Amino acid sequence: RGLATSTVRINQTYLLPFLGALGGDSSTYEAAAIQRFVIQHLGSRGRSEARLCTVALRSYLRCLVAEGRVAPGLVHCVPTVPQSSLSSLPRYLGAPDVERVIASCDVKTISGYRDRAILLLLARLGLRAGDIVAMKIGDVDWDRSTLRVCGKGRRETLLPLPQDTGDALLAYLKRRRPRVAIDRMFLTVRPPFRPFAGSASISISSTCRSTGPV
């Protein structure tokens, strides 16, 4: 299905207990056993984690259906995790607040240039943290003012690069980025210089305190 490696790992985490309980022989799967596993295994878990598990389980059962190894109806026997229509509404900053956060980056510091470029990419282009982590210097086409992003399912997309965002990237590359032979765009500010370890690093580095630990 072209899933990202991180998604595959998450699905494996949730599917291993299922395979341990029902076994690897899909010909023995029954609707009652699947429902019983979900109720027993997820009864004490939080709503978000339970939902991830049921999504992974349905995805696995769909694959089995596609291979003709189980009946199509088994996909629909996985219970749905109740979710309030308002519980998933994202919290966000208004446009004036976003601009204040971007302006708060202190470009006199080593990390200020980098953090400002990251925040502009997040605010102007709506990139995900994973997109920032994976970004390479060669993804920017300066002549055409575009940015290549490899999204979910490994699909590449060309996005227009706004002037202020391009200026921030260029300033970071010329003035503050460590001079090391690494193709990733954003690096840590303390030696040994290296790319971000994962998406969680963006939450740390983009606080604009310019004294972060990475």
pLDDT digits (tens, 9 = 90+) for 123-168: 898 888 889 999 999 999 999 999 999 866 667 888 999 999 999 9
- Residues 173 and 167: their CA atoms lie apart, in Å, by 10
Mean pLDDT of 4-31: 89
**pLDDT single digits (tens) 2-14:** 778 888 888 899 8
pLDDT tops 60 at residue 205 = no
Mean pLDDT of 20-26: 91
pLDDT value at residue 208: 45
The three-state DSSP-derived secondary structure of 38-81 is HHHHHCCCCHHHHHHHHHHHHHHHHHHHHCCCCCHHHHHHCCCC
pLDDT value at residue 84: 56
Give residue 211's pLDDT band: very low, low, confident or very high (50, 70, 90).
very low
Closest to 74 measured CA to CA, from 85, 84, 63: 63
Q: What is the DSSP letter of 160?
A: E
Closest to 177 measured CA to CA, from 95, 128, 117, 123: 117
Q: Which two tokens stand for residue 210?
A: 């310019």
C-beta separation of 57 from 38 below 8 A: yes
